[in-house]
Amino acid sequence: MTARLQVVVARIETLALDAIVNAANTRLVAGAGVDGAIRSAAGPQLGARLANAGGLAEGEALITPGFRLPARFVIHTVAPVYAAAGAHADKCARLASCYRECLLAADRAGLAEIAFPALGTGAFGWPKPLGRDIAIETVSEQLPYARGVTRVVFCCFVEADGDLYRTGLGVS
């Protein structure tokens, strides 16, 4: 199973894969960080498509074309805000749902490759080690159900985050 998992330090919007995952917000309006970088690289068609989507609940996934991105598709998902009200276990379950639903969306669309950013660990405040653990555990558990997905990339923006994910995967 871990042979299908890879850590890459890069800007996610530069990856030429079947799909990359966007860390979106519930209203699907332009944001900063990963969302801003993906929208900028994809061009105005992505923003126009999302403006008509009507929003997205935490833990759900929505697939769109990649437009001008090297990736063919973007799968948008919304992580919960770590400091928001609510039970910790419920928020962890919704973060896990982001990974699960994105993998299932990729599989349903016949996509073999998908790259995830460290969902929730930026502006949404998730501690990086906890976010990493949820990501790796959920993806590892879900891969047998997403049989068409042959490669999952954990795309880290900086080397320190790459080291964190490599440690979590037990690879160097």
Query: Pick the catalytic residue: 18, 35, 107, 161?
Result: 35
- For the cut 70, the answer to whether the pLDDT of residue 1 exceeds it is no
Mean pLDDT of 78-96: 97
| 18 included as an active-site residue | no
Token pair 């993806």 is found at 139
Domain of 148, CATH number, reads 3.40.220.10
111-137 tens-digit pLDDT: 999 999 999 999 999 999 999 999 999
Range of the domain at 161: 2-169
* Residues facing 21 on adjacent strands: 75
Q: For residue range 56-83, what is the model confidence (pLDDT) as tens digits? A: 999 999 999 999 999 999 999 999 999 9
155 in Cβ contact with 102 (< 8 Å)? no
Residues 48, 158: Cα–Cα separation, whole Å = 30
pLDDT mean over 93-111:
97
Give me the number of domains the chain comprises.
1
Instruction: Classify 52 as helix, strand or coil.
Output: coil
pLDDT at 166 over 70: yes
Task: For the chain, give the number of residues.
Answer: 172
